[in-house]
Every structure is written in structure tokens, then in C-alpha cells.
Amino acid sequence: MTRIEKTQKISACAETLFNVLKDYEHYALWNPMILHSEENGKGFILKTLTGEENVHTGERIPFAKISHIHENNPFIMEAGETFSIAANCRDTNVTFYAIPRDGNISDEIRRETEIKLKSLKHYAEYIENGGNPEQYSKLQIV
């Protein structure tokens, strides 16, 4: 199966990263591609720049891996992150992967991968350094 992977070193504990990524309700706080999220019973509806998609958690291994099933994303059918602690708890290597719906890795998938990792890095490091999520602005990233 075709998939894209990109790894980013983030100065945050795997626990912090895992908690950010499993919290679909607050994705709109840090991910510039997400405008709003709301629970729908099975998972969450993420309102994006290109429409709405239903997302729910697939595999979840605390502080090691989390996957997300995208039911109606036109580009991605599954995405996820794996974590490995680098030098210490404050440095974690995060590998983001995405499995394209049609088997082709498009420029759109590459762009979304870059944006998500950059946004996650910025937000997780902000939280890890004691930042208040209520005062965070994802506009700093764009």
C-alpha cells in the first residue's frame, strides 16, 4: 500500500504529543487546515478549508502510535503518527504518515503533511513550555 511518511523532531514529550493528537475536539486550536470540530457520536466532524470530513481514531497505543480513519477526505483514507523518544523526554521524533485514497501521493497530500507537522511542532512546544492553549494563535504558523 502506498503511503507518505515524514519525520520531525519535536521538543516535547511523547505524552504531550499523544494527548494533543488524540484530542480531535481541539484540533482547530493548532491545525490551520481545521476550522472547527464537533463530536458526532462515532468520532468527529472536522470542518476544513475544503469541506467536512468524518474522522475517528483507529489504532491507539499511548505515547507510541495513533492512527486516524478519514471517512470522506478526498485525498487521505488513513493518517497517523508514531513517536520515538530521541535524546530525552523533551525530544520526540514524530513520524506522520498518510495513506492516499487513490494510491497516488499528490501535491495536496504532501502539503497537508508539511503543514500538520509544522503546526504540531509549534503547538506542542508551546504547550510543553507552559503556554496556555486558550491564548495560542495558530496564525503564527501561516
Question: Where do the H-state alpha helices sit in the chain?
Answer: 14-22, 27-30, 107-128
CB 14 within 8 A of CB 126: no
Q: Quick one: pLDDT at residue 142?
A: 58
Q: Quick one: pLDDT at residue 90?
A: 78
The whole-angstrom separation of Cα 36 and Cα 68 is 17
Q: Quick one: pLDDT at residue 28?
A: 94
The one-digit pLDDT tens for each residue of the chain (142 residues) are 799 999 999 999 999 999 999 999 999 999 999 999 999 988 999 998 888 999 999 999 998 999 999 998 888 899 999 988 766 667 899 999 999 998 889 898 898 889 999 999 999 999 999 999 989 998 877 5
Q: Quick one: pLDDT at residue 86?
A: 67
The whole-angstrom separation of Cα 11 and Cα 32 is 20
Q: Quick one: pLDDT at residue 72?
A: 85
Which domains are delineated in the chain? 4-131 (3.30.530.20)
Spatial CA neighbour of 121 closest among 35, 20, 28: 20
Phi and psi (nearest 5°) for 35?
A: -90, -35
Angle at CA of residue 141, ends 131 and 8, nearest 5°: 85
